[in-house]
Structure 1
Amino acid sequence: MGSAAPAQRSKADPPRRRGGALHRWLGDNPLGLLLSSPYILFVVVVFLIPFGFGIWMSVHDFYFTAPGVAVEHPFVGFENFATVLADPIVRQAFGNLLIFLVINVPLTVVLGLLLSSGLDAVVHWKGFFRISYYVPYVTASVATLAVWIFLFNGNGVVNSLLGSLAPDPSWLANPALIMPLIAVYVTWKNLGFYILLYLAALQNVPKELHEAAQLDGAGRWQRFRSVTLPAVRPVTSLVVLLSIITTGQIFTEPYLLTGGGPNNASMTPALLMYQQGIQQGKPDIAAAIGMILVIAVMIVSLVSRRITEGKNR
């Protein structure tokens, strides 16, 4: 009885992959992995390694020592977190951040969408207006904050214009007004970037949709609500996410305007991390504040994404 002939491979059969695990790791385009490797290395060195070290510091009794001095840093678990959560200044700093978030995010979305819609309707001088909106965003914060200090200090231009209506104490020394003032400043400074994002989304909306809605008898507000808002919803989700991330990073503005005062009314977690970790030499406490801040920003970002993108799912 003769041996069976080997099965002939059909032309329709897919070619067998070679290389095993190495091929599966590199994928079908190893050149793409090679070209992206510098950025991957950058992310690992600049972000992942410091973040992992921050997690390690937050659960150890860590402090700075002289170079070459061997010191043990015992594991303390959640002791640093308990110390942080029991500190009233930390709780006030996160409360200030919440005030900033409630003012900055809605103001950024509303003004960004309205101003970009107006800019999209402009026929002449469109390039001039784009540059004008974007100039504060690229200007150094030190320069723009100096202007705001000149405007809002006790003898500033704003108080001179308001006269008897000026707040007492003045803007920068008023615990009830300083955080809203910082939120308005950050909104104004970053607004040009978000306007350009919205403008790009508006210019991709087909004009036929507006024309069809107009033929159906829809007014300007109805067209804005039924055509424009759904078209820019993905950009709105991005704007909200970036605004939340910006909120968690607020440091320069309170540091230069008031140093966290008056009475910690403008203190933020990022500024508190600087004071605890650099000025007071408690990097473990600063790391614990940072970990809490990261978790808080992630939770708020996930909730906002669920709200802004819910109708797209």
Structure 2
Amino acid sequence: MSATLEGTAGLTGGDPGRPSGRGDSHAEGDSRKRRRRLLGAQPLGILFSAPYIVFIGVVFAYPIVFAIWMSFQDYFFAAPGASVDRPFVGFDNYVAVLTDPAVLRSFLNVGIFLIINVPLTVGLSIVLATALDRVVHARTFFRVSYYVPYVTASVAVVAVWLFLFSSQGLVNNILGPLAPNPSWLVNSFLAMPTIALFVTWKGLGFYILLYLAALQNVPRELYESVSMDGGGRVRQFFSVTVPGVRPATVLVVLLATITGANLFTEPYLLTGGGGPDGASASPVLLIYQKGIQQQNPDQAAAIGVILMVVVLFIAWLQRRFVGGEER
């Protein structure tokens, strides 16, 4: 019997007095799976992405956490190294900004801006990208022409826009008696729509490039199939192009929304800081005015946190209803 056990142990390479190693192998396999789930299939990738992770943490994560903390304090600027008391005030800053008519007006203004800017950006970008994709001659010239306003400094482009839409500008001279009175940028009803048109025009080149890249992934056979069924260019556009670039549309909608929510330069330069009477003020512009000019950084931080929550909610709605996920 003893010889038999020893022979068996010799064949299996184990000790007859010890339990089988299956439990150890299972534990090792589970540990490997957990490590892979935590670090990924290629743990070395974490090392290469570490500088960007640090950049995100320093430039984005820390300021967000600090702004949230600041919004619950009676915070004010002090000299470097000075020890001052900044007591916890709870939701007082949020109550102050949410009962401020100027803040509520700024959120309404940016809502009007998004209602005009986002549909125009999506519609014009996809139509122009489709047209540029079919251009044979001077394709590079047309693509660069649309992209130039996007890469041009805002201050320079704003000067051109002021020349066009000022009270004595070119547009009013062309319209003559049909020109609005007060003029575009000093009219409380037209100031924000005019800014929305400006931002749409300036950023159009970037979104056209996104759609041009997406169009390269749409199979040409689908256009030929629709054409053989008697479908013209319009039917091809709605039956093939629009569904084919759906992921790009979701991205464009999201980027246009985030850009619009962070509106600052255009109302600051075009209307002299949100005029007339706050009709073109944006939440980010009020953050600057309250935090820097009026020395109320705690209320400015509260506006920023509210704006962040609103943008995240809008982004979730867009992902849910515009179609960011396949169902």
Q: TM-score per shorter chain, which class? A: over 0.9
Tell me the amino acid that sits aligned with residue 291 of structure 2. Answer: G
For 1:44 and 1:255, locate their aligned partners in 2 and report how far apart those are by CA, in whole Å: 29
Unaligned runs of 5+ in 1: none
Residue from 226, 239, 242 that aligns with 2:252: 239
Q: Which deviates more from structure 2 when the two are superposed, residues 25-34 or residues 255-264?
A: 25-34
2:199 to 186, 191, 199: 186
Matches of 2:179 and 2:46, distance apart in 1: 60
Q: In structure 1, which of residues 206, 209, 213 is the aligned counterpart of residue 226 of structure 2?
A: 213
Taking the aligned partners of 2:314 and 2:38, their CA distance within structure 1 comes to 34
Provide the residue aligned with 1:112 in structure 2. Answer: 125
1:244-296 deviations in Å (ceiling 9; x for gaps): 00011100000011111001000000000000000010000000000010011
**Matched residue, 1:266:** 280
Q: 2:98 aligns with which of 80, 85, 89?
A: 85
Supply the distance in 1 between the matched residues of 2:232 and 2:326 (Cα, whole angstroms). 25
**Distance verdict in 2 for CA 1:137–1:181, change over 3 Å:** same
Matching of residues 43-122 of structure 1 within 5 Å:
43-122=56-135
Aligned counterpart for 2:55 among listed residues 39, 42, 59? 42
CA distance in 1, matches of 2:90, 2:325: 42
Deviations 1:138-188 (A, max 9, x none): 000000001101111111111111111111111111111000000000000
Match of 1:289 in 2: 303
Q: Which residue among 292, 295, 310 is the counterpart of 1:278?
A: 292
Percent identity (aligned): 58
CA distance in 2, matches of 1:188, 1:230: 25
Query: 2 CA distance for matches of 1:90 and 1:130?
Result: 39
**Whole-Å Cα distance in 2 between the matches of residues 59 and 119 of structure 1?**
51
Unaligned runs of 5+ in 2: 15-19
**How far, CA to CA, are the matches of 1:186 and 1:50 in structure 2?**
27
Secondary structure class of the residue paired with 1:312: coil
Separation in structure 1 between the aligned mates of residue 21 and residue 60 of structure 2, nearest angstrom? 53
| TM-score after normalising by structure 2 | 0.90
Give the whole-Å Cα distance in 2 for the aligned partners of 1:18 and 1:241. 39
Structure 1 residues 26 and 227 mapped into 2: Cα distance closer, same or farther (>3 Å)? closer
Change (3 A) 1:213 1:22: closer
Structure 1 residue 86, shift from structure 2 partner: 0.3
Give deviations 1:95-140, integer Å, cap 9, x for gaps: 0001100000000011001101110110011111111110000000
C-alpha separation between the residues in 2 aligned to 1:117 and 1:164?
Answer: 38
Query: Which structure would you say has the larger Rg?
Result: 2
TM-score by length of 1: 0.93
Which digits, 9 at most, give the CA deviation of each residue in 1:58-90, with x for residues without a partner?
111100011222112111111110111000000
Is the counterpart of residue 251 in structure 1 residue 289 in structure 2?
Answer: no
Of 162, 166, 174, 2:175 maps to 162
Question: Taking structure 1 as reference, are residues 21 and 200 closer, same or farther at Cα in structure 2, changes over 3 Å only?
Answer: closer
Q: What displacement does 1:30 show? A: 3.1
CA distance change for structure 1 residues 225 and 23 in 2, over 3 Å: closer, same or farther?
closer
Segment drifting more, 109-118 vs 64-73: 64-73
CA displacement at 1:204 relative to structure 2: 1.7
Q: Is 1:227 the equivalent of 2:265?
A: no
